[in-house]
Structure 1
Amino acid sequence: MKKLYSALMTAFNEDGTVNSQGIREMVRYNIDVNHIDGLYVGGSTGEAFMLSTEEKKLIFKTAFDEANGAIDLIAQVGSLNLLEAKALAKYVTDLGYKKISAVTPFYYNFKFDEIKHYYDEIVKDVDNKLIIYSIPALTGVALTTDQFAELFENPKIIGIKYTNADFYLLERVRNRFPDKLILSGFDEMLLPALALNVDGAIGSTYNLNAKRAKAEMNAFEAGDIAKARQLQKDSNDLITALIQNDIYPSLKLVMEEMGIHAGYTKEPMSHPTPEMKAGAKEIYQKYLK
């Protein structure tokens, strides 16, 4: 059975501090209403790359405590600061996370041997399994099939969060590594990813749209491709509306419409305007109510 994970958002207070209660409410909503299979904690959707080490630790602990073993949790510990990534890997492993993930190191145009060293170092001192977070559009790092093969030589590296529009590469990777865990990271391309036999998906919009995404996965598995295409179209209508309304604050504003205190985004991301709030209300009424 393919698994669906929400990329957990981080609730912030208006002054930019972490709102732990809001995080707990989002975890509970994902468990009790979305019936999600798992949460990806500390990723792009969680605004993690703007946070201090202590803020990240608070988020990891809050999510872990609230989930209380009910669902699978993946902790994204990747950082340009390798010492921080290693410390976070140890921290979440000690907490009880059974899987970790790490974004490819970015900005400095690292050579592949440096990237491989980074991943090997993150898992070296922890008894845990790591999922590579590949998102070339934001990192500028596009790994090849042969490079994935080199990374997989480390038995602790078990798969990929594949947030990449290169579906030729996805097909090559899937067929070369049939036993590795591959989780699709583009919500708007869930259906073609399913056709290439990914093991599941991780995405930000599943916080709002898990029911429709699960129905799409079930339709695909049942061979009802027409229904799956319609559900993907409906999801993409929602995603388009969120993007046009400024997606990161809008995800939280729509959750507020659902009664969940998702809080603010972290500056320099936008704080909500009256127009964005009105747009979020319309999105909720049109696509989710």
Structure 2
Amino acid sequence: MKGIYSALLASFDEQGKINEQGVREIVRHNIDKMMVDGLYVGGSTGENFMLSTEEKKQIFEIAKDEAGSEVKLIAQVGSINVYESIDLAKHATALGYDAISAVTPFYYKFSFEEIKDYYNMIIDSVDNRLIIYSIPFLTGVDMSVEQFGELFENPKIIGVKFTAADFFLLERMRKAYPDKLIFAGFDEMMLSAAVLDVDGAIGSTFNVNGPRARQIYELAKAGKIEEAREIQHTTNDLIAAILDNGLYPTIKCILEEQGVHAGCCRKPMASATPEARIRAREIYKQYIK
């Protein structure tokens, strides 16, 4: 399960409906051109939290049908509705996903015991493995080393997607749980996470910057920090330009420049304006082509 995973984008038409061919093309692009080890399907990058349960299932089905067993697949099934999460976990497991993942329950101020119950309910409902999706800046849920340890007491909870800038916590977790998988979740901080011996990374910009992500990870693992740092500098120049122009719309425009029908964003998220499309083309030519 280790390595470089793209947080898979989803493709929608102008009416907000899933563009199946576009999703298939994004999957193929990631496998054939970005050379990733796996796909993280149904996460924030896939605009998951704006989709119905049936639409989430459809994305899982398309991605699995297109990828087959070529790469590892992780299905993000987390939801504020734990019964939807269980339904999605069963669906992804039946499809043959290698693992499931679940974001911490958000919006309400859930206690840690409630969060722990949520994770155990999901993973105990299926014969699969679960990776916690920790993204405190969006969910408002911070957990301690000890609390992660309590979750890891369930042997089916095998790791965490760590999307946070708290590298002290990351280091403490790596030392405390050497046998658990830790995936870095911030593309722009990948080198720092790799130095702390994470097991891989899951990123949205890997859809267009996968080869550099792998270089950073492998160079850091080999102790070639100066070389990795130079590639991280270039990567962060790219990321800064993408963020300034609109994260998901710009990545989709860059994919369109490469012949991939990445489509529109799902409302209420705005798609790229004509000006943003021009800027995305410039970013593509400067940093990727």
Shift of 1:187: 0.1
**1:222 offset after TM fit, Å?**
2.7
- Structure 1 residue runs of 4 or more that deviate by more than 2 Å after TM superposition: none
1:119 aligns with 2:127: no
Give the C-alpha shift of residue 35 in structure 1: 1.1
Instruction: Summarize deviations over 1:148-192 as a string: whole Å, max 9, x none.
Output: 011011111000000011000000011000000000000000000
Classify the secondary structure of the residue corresponding to 2:45: coil
- How big is the shift at 1:218? 2.3
Q: Following the alignment from structure 2 to structure 1, what is the Cα–Cα distance between the partners of residues 152 and 222? A: 32
Aligned position for 2:30: 30
Number of residues of Structure 1 aligned to a counterpart in Structure 2: 289
Q: Distance in 1 between matches of 2:221 and 2:84?
A: 41
Shift of 1:221: 2.5
The aligned amino acid for 1:25 is E
Secondary structure of 2:183 counterpart:
strand
Between the aligned partners of 2:90 and 2:249, the Cα distance in structure 1 is 31
Please list every run of 5 or more consecutive structure 2 residues that lacks an aligned counterpart in the other structure: none
Cα separation, 2, equivalents of 1:114 and 1:120: 10
In 1: Cα distance, 2:215 partner to 2:179 partner: 25
* Residue type at the aligned position of 1:114: E
Aligned partner letter, 2:143:
L
Other-structure match for 2:202: 202
* Residue 16 of structure 1: aligned partner: 16
Find the counterpart in structure 1 of residue 162 from structure 2.
Answer: 162
State the TM-score, normalizing by the size of structure 1: 0.99
Distance in 2 of aligned mates of 1:50 and 1:184: 24
SS in 1 for 2:148: helix
Q: Distance in 1 between matches of 2:7 and 2:190?
A: 15
Matches within 5 A, 1:104-143: 104-143=104-143
Instruction: Name 2:51's counterpart in structure 1.
Output: 51
Counterpart AA for 1:288: I
Q: Return the TM-score normalized by structure 2.
A: 0.99
Maintained 8 Å contact 2:2/2:181? no
Per-residue deviation, 1:2: 5.2
Q: How big is each residue's C-alpha offset from its partner over 1:39-73, in whole Å with a ceiling of 9 and x where there is no partner? A: 00000000001100000000000000000110000
What are the within-5 Å matches in structure 2 for residues 1-289 of structure 1?
3-289=3-289
Letter in 1 for 2:5: Y
Letter paired with 2:30: N
- Say which is worse superposed, 211-220 or 252-261, in terms of deviation: 211-220
Q: Distance in 2 between matches of 1:195 and 1:226?
A: 12
* Contact 2:39–2:72, Cα closer than 8 Å, also in 1: yes
Identity of aligned pairs, percent? 59
CA distance in 1, matches of 2:48, 2:136: 17
**What CA RMSD, in Å, does the superposition of the two structures yield over aligned residues?**
0.9
Shift of 1:226: 1.1
Write the distance in 1 (CA, Å) between the matches of 2:172 and 2:223. 23
1:13 is paired with a residue whose SS is coil
Q: Partner letter of residue 218 of structure 1?
A: E
Counterparts of 2:155 and 2:44, CA distance in 1: 26
Quote the Cα distance in structure 2 between the aligned partners of 1:147 and 1:182: 15
CA deviation after TM superposition for structure 1 residue 214, in Å: 1.2
- Secondary structure of the structure 2 residue equivalent to 1:17: coil
Structure 2 distance, partners of 1:49, 1:281, is 28
Aligned-partner residue type, residue 190 of structure 1: M
